[in-house]
Amino acid sequence: MIRLLVLYGHPQDPTAFDRYYQEAHIPIARRMKGLRKWTIGKVQGMPGGEPPPYYYVADLYMESREEFERLLASPEGQAAVADVPNYATGGVTFLYTEVEEII
């Protein structure tokens, strides 16, 4: 399985980020078909109490990188990607990872 890990930097206005992500981006991204799993979460901190380098994280899962490429090339995928600059004022990093379940 392949995960697309999306790491959002700290936004200029966290309240505006939260509102836009929930009210606008999620409905746009939900139109993408074929995801095996999609999780989101606000970063709560780091061990040791240091400030976290990221504000928000999204994990999207599909069976293969090729499936991700097709999904992101679709009109629905293109719309979701094009929407990111509308709210990600703290920057965003996209990482593909191969996932191996241990437990």
Domain boundaries, the chain: 1-33+62-103
Q: Which two tokens stand for residue 85?
A: 């600059």
Q: Starting at the edge strand that comes first in sequence, how are the strands of the sheet with 92-98 ordered?
A: 37-42, 56-62, 2-8, 92-98
17: enclosing H helix or E strand? helix 14-20
Q: What pLDDT, in 10s, does the model give residues 40-98?
A: 999 998 888 888 999 999 999 999 999 999 999 999 999 999 999 999 999 999 999 99
The pLDDT score that the predictor gives to residue 82 is 97
The pLDDT score that the predictor gives to residue 49 is 86
Nearest of 72, 74, 89, 76 to residue 20 by alpha carbon: 89
Q: pTM for the complete prediction?
A: 0.92
Instruction: Kindly report the CATH class assigned to 1-33+62-103.
Output: alpha beta
Q: Which carries the bigger pLDDT value, residue 87 or residue 101?
A: 87
| CA dist 8 → 64, 70, 85, 88 (Å) | 23, 23, 11, 7
